[in-house]
Amino acid sequence: MTATLPGPAAAPTVAMERVLDRMPVPVAQARPQPARLAALDGLRGLAALVVVVHHCALTLPALARQWTGPDPAGLGWWATYTPLHLAWAGDEAVLVFFVLSGLVLTLPFLSGTGAGAWPAYYRKRAVRLYVPVVAAVAFTAAVLAVFPRTGDPGWSWWMAEHVVPDDAAALVADAALLGGTSWRNSVLWSLRIEVWFSLALPLYVVLVRGLTTRLRATLPVVLAAMGWASWHGHDLLSLLCVFAVGALLARRLDALAEHGRRLAGSVAGWTGVLLAAAVLLMARWELAALGADPRSWVPVGRPAATLGAVLLVFAVLHCAPLRSATLSRPLQWLGAISFSLYLVHEPIVVTLATLTPVGVRGLAVVAGVGIPLSLLVAVAFSRLVERPSRRLAAAVARPPLRSGA
């Protein structure tokens, strides 16, 4: 999978602390410190920025070409099959989003006291997801109307896929999500999987609430199921397993905290965790560089990268220097606008790429102008759409007033 292909994978879950503050808190385990959860907001913001860089990079043919197999010619190989890839690892950033969604949405319901909150949850979740998505589709339609996409023989395959007509019916289908999405704003494919997970959340809660086995026993089973589903072409099921990993983390946050306390102050220990996370997140590209069968890249690489995402979440929660970094003002700001940034950046990046020459100089313009412009538009989108959608979601989640009350 790539973070660019319309098909099964999730957008960043928004306002983690708000979700936890307004829903039941598990009684079976202590609530994590708010600062730790806020650190996950910073991680989400960083992941959103990586996705933006990822899409800028794919406008360059030399980098996009690496998706079809290692091409040792030029610098594209080094940017893709070495640790440099972590700076634009969009696929892996999406897996981080999914793990975070599974953790944050499952956690409030694990006490068993939230069963009556399901109707309110569904109302609130529908508004929180669909209002920004519909607005993002409208934004994409406006950009397409002003800057129609026409192909160029020198474009990368990723850019060529974006040459689509301004079709009203397709835009409506994009906004609906569940029937599939198009290349007009291809990041919506991840929202499609987010919606499926949101619908199935009660099942996830029931399954993880009854678990008594340790994470080291349950996690390999879910990762194996993820790889099996991907190998057999069940990509939706495979990606839903990534959310299940997040749900398992929610169930075992107390155990993770205990492991974190054991590693407290151990520079070597945390260095090992972060190195392992980097190696696992890069697994797909390492396999490709070693000449592995391309069919194994996703079935093996996705579970490995998901495990890398787990280690990264663990480190952000419990490694003091890393937690401090993700609590920094810039990353917290990115986290606050991450959902908006995720939704609006691709039409901007693609449009700039159509207006600039193909090549490294064009990439410099796309990244140098597109990233700041995407951030500015994301700020406006957050204020005009996302924040009002939160207020509306909170309103629709409240129980109706009874007459005579």
Question: 98-156 pLDDT, tens per residue?
Answer: 999 999 999 988 865 554 588 999 999 999 999 999 999 999 999 999 999 888 889 99
**11 within some domain:** no
**221 within some domain:** yes
pLDDT of residue 165: 81
- The DSSP H or E segment spanning 80 is helix 76-81
**405 within some domain:** no
Q: Which pLDDT band holds residue 371 (cuts at 50, 70, 90)?
A: very high
pLDDT of residue 116: 57
**8 within some domain:** no
**61 within some domain:** yes
The total number of structural domains that make up the chain: 1
Answer with the residue of higher pLDDT: 6 or 287: 287
Nearest to 63 by CA among 322, 302, 352, 285: 285
CA distance 324 to 220: 30
Q: Which pLDDT band holds residue 28 (cuts at 50, 70, 90)?
A: very low
**7 within some domain:** no
Q: How many residues does the chain have?
A: 405
236: phi then psi, degrees, rounded to nearest 5? -60, -50
CA distance 403 to 397: 18
- Placement of tokens 């026993």 in the chain: 217
CA distance 366 to 90: 17
pLDDT surpassing 50 at residue 89:
yes
Nearest to 133 by CA among 190, 183, 210, 88: 190
Distance of CA 142 to the CA centre of its chain: 25
Residue 109 CB: number of other CB atoms within 10 A? 25
Range(s) of the domain holding residue 160 = 16-397
pTM of full prediction above 0.75? yes
**3 within some domain:** no
CA distance 102 to 96: 10
pLDDT above 70: percentage of residues in the chain: 88
